[in-house]
Amino acid sequence: MFIQNKLIENYISAPRFERYLKAADYNKTRAAKLYIANIELAQAAHPLITQFEVVLRNSLNMQLSNYFDNPDWIIHEKDGFMKNPSLRESDFFLRRTIEKTELLLRRKRISITCGKIVSEQSLGFWVALFLSHHYRLIDGQPIKIFDYKPVSENRSRLYSKLSAIKTLRNRVNHCDPLCFKKNKIDCSLILSIRLDMLRLIEWIEPDLLPFFESIDKLTKKVDYLMSI
């Protein structure tokens, strides 16, 4: 399949396509196949990422609901730990995020409930709970969702994995290149993050792993891409 140069420059943009051209030794047909294969790779990553986000979000929400003994903790804690003076340097990120969500819901004339606030939060909100300045204010509760993790996995290591998943999610959503290491075709990073997602799910609840494996088409798409 060949994408005409004019279409590339006007709609995909020549700079975006240039990386694919370099990797394909300026074979335009091969570069176009790589570009499409990258889109398909993003499509394959999407179910894993979205379902991982659902499990992480709901696990953390349950953990913190129990910790605060309040199912509406996410609303009430705007004036609790989220308002702690120690968070001034981070500009009270969690609190501001909740307030923005509430404002958006009011504008849409949607009732503000804890469930709605929870479901509207981005992956970045939940990952931020593993940052040390939030983590210590809630007595390290976030790590407790990983009942089956190895002892060696501490807050810092978990945050690193979660942050990489968040970055991948953003790259997928923006249709960024996922198949390169510098200018070489290389899918090792996305495969590594995939493995971390599966490990994290297993550390939360091993019985969820078969479900995630059933929706995992990522390695097949990588195999195809690498064969181009």
C-alpha to C-alpha distance for 135 and 50, rounded to whole angstroms: 24
Closest CA to 158 of 172, 170, 169, 148: 148
Question: Mean pLDDT over all residues of the chain?
Answer: 94
- Whole-number Cα distances in Å, 24 to 16, 222, 226, 227: 14, 16, 11, 12
pTM of the model: 0.93
Question: pLDDT for 7-42, tens place per residue?
Answer: 666 777 888 889 999 999 999 889 989 999 999 999
With cut-offs at 50, 70 and 90, classify the pLDDT of residue 4.
low
Q: Around 181, how many Cα atoms within 13 Å sit in the side-chain half-sphere?
A: 7
Give mean pLDDT, residues 198-214.
98
